Structure 1
Amino acid sequence: MMNSTKSPVCNLPTGTRLVGKWHQKPYKIVKQLGSGATGTVYLADSAHGDIALKIGVNNMAITSEVNVLKHFSKVQGQILGPSLLDVDDYSTNEGTFPFYAMEYLKGEELLPFIRKRGDEWLGIFIVQLLGDLDRLHRAGWAFGDLKPDNLLVVGPPSRIRWMDVGGTTLLGRSIKEYTEFYDRGYWNLGTRKAEPSYDLFAVAMIMINCYYPKRFNKNEDKPHFQLKKAIEAKPALLPYRQVLMNAILGKYVDAQLMRKDVVELISNKKTYTHKPQRKTRKTHKETKKQKGKGSYIFDFFLVSSFLLLAYILYLFGQMM
């Protein structure tokens, strides 16, 4: 197998024009979006506008990804990843290289989105992600290389879509592509066998990554204690502590169980914390004013909670 990083198609310059060998569809390279073990993804211009074009060096790897994208479009009517648009070969003086064209997803990366819009979005997106993973697992696949780089927030309404399916692996086989921070094998907390619990470990690490954007390396003899300390050091992660540790230690056998626990946490989460104040003598006017202010704050949080719950229910309806 040729190393994709040394392939002549891994660094196509802007403006390169290519035409599919079989379908004769023309594409023009705009820029490179990313490169991995199975190939390089470009933003390209086509007859239908912007598309994402992935060129590989191994026919079997590209065929596997194409099959995954086809499966995505059939999983209970949900479009989990980009829509597949074309599959063909690109002939050059150096050889013929397989490629496929897919929908170009426009959106915002997961971590910046949550930092800008608030912690409450983390639970919403994790519930949606776990629902999508459950459908994928029931179809016989594990995502494998699950990480924020492979997730994009699109909308409205805001929801997560999957970008790169290069690591997707049939259940029971060895994970073919992974990133250390999200890989339970790196943390000595399980094998690299493709199974639901492998992806659920990665979900927990994505949640941790939201509050440790620079990530961190394994540096203890007992990595699960290191991860437990990292969770307990971030107030926003404390409500999810037990769920995260269950996923890290492989206690969830499927995504639906983890999803159920996250939904329950979101439903029971307090919207505000009451802080006792020192007793002071107040005039009738001040007391009335404070009551009005307190009532306004209560109403604000009540409405916010209602809207948040309504949005979660809306997402559930979209995923059913």
Structure 2
Amino acid sequence: MITKTSKKPDIFLKKGQLVKGKWHRKHYHVIKKLGSGAIGAVYLCVHEKKKVALKISKQSTSISSEVNVLKSFQAVQGYHLGPSLIDVDDYQAHNGFTYSFYVMEYISGESLHDFMRNNNEEWLITLLIKFLNDLHVLHQQGYVFGDLKLENLIVSQKPTRLRWVDVGGTTLQGRAIKEYTEFYDRAYWQCGSRKADPGYDLFALAMVIIRVYYPNGFSKGNSPKKTLQQKINQAVQIEPLRKLLMMLVNQTIVRAEDVKQYLLQYFIHEKTRSDRRENQVTKNRQEAVYSYFEIGGILTIGALGYVYVTLFM
């Protein structure tokens, strides 16, 4: 027998629609749709004059799973692993079906691709160092982000940070990745399995960086790994970053902490080189000024001598 629940259709919310929680009785006014995935859709809403993000789905078990992930993140003191959880409830729709939803912090900002169009590659290194720290903490909690891609990341301001905004693909380590996007998927590029381990996220992170250089993506060709290597060599100018991407693609580095330390060493090295260049420029300027006064002094003495000889001899 087919039950009414098993035939539950997807839910679509319209601009201006009011979503009222069945149990907590809180009201959320829909502004616009932010995105959708395999589990459900996320909408920008207003609650008590404050913008929030509301995710709604016909799959109550999936919503419960994501809520548990967000609660687990909040239990980690001192870290902002994803958006803060605000509310969890059900919505009785006009079609007679009940849909589960949760409300989370709305993180405003811009996409990594848009941010990088106005900033240099040094900023990319800075964002990655901070993000890798969060990724390391996530892995320490026993999770893998899974569906790590540009669309699930945003560059927030004050402070400027790279943050994830959808935990729908988050999977316990050791299990099969439950949600992924082909371009960022390790198995799709024949570089490993689809098993949830830290290396899966780091491969996806490499693809996020590559996508910054190739906004429209590219096909994998007959030799996927060789295609990736060629694309990296063609686009990435910073040698340490190019080497890092190669290591991530080849899975010779599989810990977020190790990647962070690698980038920190690069950052420190470049800062030292920059300080040396600045010191050398300052030294050159000082020497130039000294030479100018020295020559000026000689010319002045010479000029005085010329006037003396002309007038008195």
**Structure 2 partner of 1:83:** 84
Q: Matched residues in 2 for 1:179 and 1:271: separation? A: 39
% identity of equivalent residues: 46
* Partner Cα distance (1:162, 1:135) in 2: 14
Which sections of structure 2, spanning at least 5 residues, go unmatched?
Answer: 278-283, 289-313
- Gaps (5+ residues) in structure 1? 275-290, 296-320
1:3 CA drift (Å) = 9.5
Cα distance in structure 2, aligned partners of 1:94 and 1:197: 44
Are 1:266 and 2:299 an aligned pair?
no
Q: TM-score, normalised by structure 2?
A: 0.82
- Give yes or no for contact 2:53–2:105 (8 Å, CA) kept in 1: yes
Specify the code of the residue in structure 1 equivalent to 2:159: P
Paired residues in the alignment total 277
Paired residue for 1:100?
102
Name the SS of the counterpart of 1:236 in structure 2. coil
Give the 3-state SS of the residue equivalent to 2:31 in structure 1: strand
- Going from structure 1 to structure 2, the CA distance change for 1:119 and 1:83 (only over 3 Å counts) comes to same
Distance in 2, Cα, partners of 1:294 & 1:62: 68
**C-alpha distance in 2 between matches for 1:109 and 1:216:** 20
Could you say what the CA RMSD is over the residues aligned between the two structures, in angstroms?
2.5
Structure 1 position 39 matched with structure 2 position 44: no
1:49: Cα distance to partner? 1.2
SS in 1 for 2:91: strand
Aligned to 1:256: 257
User: Which deviations, in whole Å up to 9, do the C-alpha atoms of 1:217-263 show, x marking residues without a partner?
Assistant: 10132x22211111111243433122111111222232111111121
SS in 1 for 2:206: helix
Deviation at 1:99, TM superposition (A): 0.1
1:204 aligns with 206
Residue 239 of structure 1 corresponds to which residue in structure 2? 240
Cα distance between partner residues in 1 of 2:150 and 2:274:
27
Please point out which of 129, 132, 137 is paired with 1:130. 132
Map 1:87-166 → 2, pairs under 5 A:
87-92=88-93, 93-166=95-168
SS for the counterpart of 2:148 is: coil
8 Å contact 1:20–1:26 — kept in the other structure?
yes
Greater radius of gyration (CA): 2
Change (3 A) 1:2 1:136: farther
Letter in 1 for 2:168: G
In 2, Cα distance between equivalents of 1:218 and 1:167: 23
Provide the C-alpha distance between the structure 1 equivalents of 2:48 and 2:27, rounded to a whole number of angstroms. 8
What is the CA–CA distance in structure 2 between the aligned matches of 1:165 and 1:2, rounded to whole Å? 25
CA distance in 1, matches of 2:13, 2:259: 42
Alignment of 1:287-302 (within 5 A): 292=285
